[in-house]
Amino acid sequence: MGELYLGVDAGNSKTAALVCTAAGEIVGYGRSGCGDIYGAPTSSDAVAEVAAAVGDALAGASVAMAGIAGAAFRLAGVDWPEDCAFWDTALREKYPTLRRRSILNDGYAAIRCGEPSGVGVAVIAGTAAAVAARGPGGAVWDLGWWPQHSMGAAGLAEEALKAVYLADLGLGSKTSLTEGLLEFFGRSSVFELNRWFTRREGAAPWQEKPRAARVVTAAAEAGDQVAQVIVREQGRRLAMYAGVAARKVGLADGPGKVSVVLSGSVLMAVESPVADALLAELDGHVPGVVPHRAVVPPVAGAALDALGESGIPVTPAVTDRIAATLPPKEFLAT
């Protein structure tokens, strides 16, 4: 089988891990819960979830960590230097035999999902949003806690709820989102909807809001003007932060092309109006942009990073092999 490589993508909804060969064949995989040190009940819980996914992936590949030649940990919540230091200590204690590894924010996992060189910008819109970039000289930058706008599925839902509440108060335009969200959440009135999300006891868990993103995109596609404004604004925000990322790592300094990879459930949905809105805005924020759709999920991008950082060329054949040997779709469902 030869040397094996490990890629880990940890987020709030799940943590996924893949073990692959140098040729890109996936030979083990594992999945667990929240691996974000900001989102898990405790940082120790996040470490345990990452370890659980890694353990299952190693077991599936019938290999111990000592047999892993290189690993890329792409972890939500690696936002500040102390976060990286925390994970460096945790992984060193957990896996003392691991020979080569890197630790970065999960946003970086998506770059190689559409740009094999790993140089470019990734724009991810899933439950939340992430933007990360790697420049030609190796400089990296990610959005972390810098965004001042709500984005991703959560952002779409929050803006839609705001529009519904304002319409109910007579301070905003009427919108089909009112009927759509009441039906989706099973509430009898806007009063009950607002109360359900904000009451002191028995309030809806935060995970409920992002689920309604599909209501917003469906309303926009059906012609609702309020929903269309929300979708266009989501595209503008994502494009704006992609521009910041490109400038931060030197991708905007010359006349060359700049790869921007789109990933995440909101942008990868069939005929996604948010993706269309983002693409319509990108030229104005990233000169020379060449957009790419991710061809593999972020955890596969992490595995490709593990290969690339170990000196193995990430060729189309390697990416194709990873894509062909991915776990079943339900493994990556959120």
327 and 312 in a single domain? The answer is: yes
34 and 85 in a single domain? The answer is: yes
78 and 21 in a single domain? The answer is: yes
* Cα 227 → chain centroid: 23
Is the model's pLDDT at 50 over the cut of 80? Answer: yes
193 and 93 in a single domain? The answer is: no
155 and 195 in a single domain? The answer is: yes
Average pLDDT, integer, range 239-245: 97
DSSP H/E element including 31: strand 26-32
The 10s digit of each residue's pLDDT in 182-193 is 999 999 999 999
The 10s digit of each residue's pLDDT in 16-42 is 999 999 999 999 999 999 999 999 999
Q: Is the pTM of this model over 0.85?
A: yes
Is the model's pLDDT at 255 over the cut of 90? Answer: no
199 and 305 in a single domain? The answer is: no
Could you give the maximum distance between any two Cα atoms of the chain, in Å? 67
88 and 170 in a single domain? The answer is: no
217 and 84 in a single domain? The answer is: no
Question: Rounded to 5 degrees, what are φ and ψ at 252?
Answer: -100, 10
The 10s digit of each residue's pLDDT in 153-179 is 999 999 999 999 999 999 999 999 999
Please state, in angstroms and rounded to a whole number, the distance separating the CA atoms of residues 11 and 105: 10
| Amino acid making up residue 199 | R
Which tokens in the block code for residue 332?
């990556």
- Strands 258-263 and 120-125 turn out to be parallel
pLDDT at 6: 98
**H, E, C per residue of 289-305:** EEEEECCCCHHHHHHHH
Lowest mean pLDDT among 162-166, 201-205, 243-247, 250-254: 250-254
Percent of the chain's residues with pLDDT above 90: 93
212 and 153 in a single domain? The answer is: yes
What is the side-by-side order of every strand in the sheet holding 140-142? 140-142, 129-134, 120-125, 258-263, 289-293
Q: How sure is the predictor about 206, in pLDDT bands with cuts at 50, 70 and 90?
A: confident
Which tokens in the block code for residue 302?
């992490």
Residue ranges in 132-251 assigned as alpha helix (H): 152-168, 177-185, 190-198, 213-221, 225-248
Is the model's pLDDT at 228 over the cut of 90? Answer: yes
For residue 42, give the 3-state DSSP assignment: coil
User: Which 8-state DSSP code applies to residue 270?
Assistant: T
List the CATH number of the domain containing 211. Answer: 3.30.420.40
323 and 259 in a single domain? The answer is: no
pLDDT at 1: 63
For residue 80, give the 3-state DSSP assignment: coil
Is the model's pLDDT at 227 over the cut of 90? Answer: yes
Is the model's pLDDT at 334 over the cut of 80? Answer: no
Please state, in angstroms and rounded to a whole number, the distance separating the CA atoms of residues 170 and 22: 61
Domain count, the chain: 2
The 10s digit of each residue's pLDDT in 269-294 is 989 999 999 999 999 999 999 999 99
The residue written with tokens 């999902």 in the block is: 113
Average pLDDT, integer, range 46-61: 98
147 and 236 in a single domain? The answer is: yes
146 and 276 in a single domain? The answer is: yes
pLDDT at 254: 74
Domain that holds residue 193: 115-294
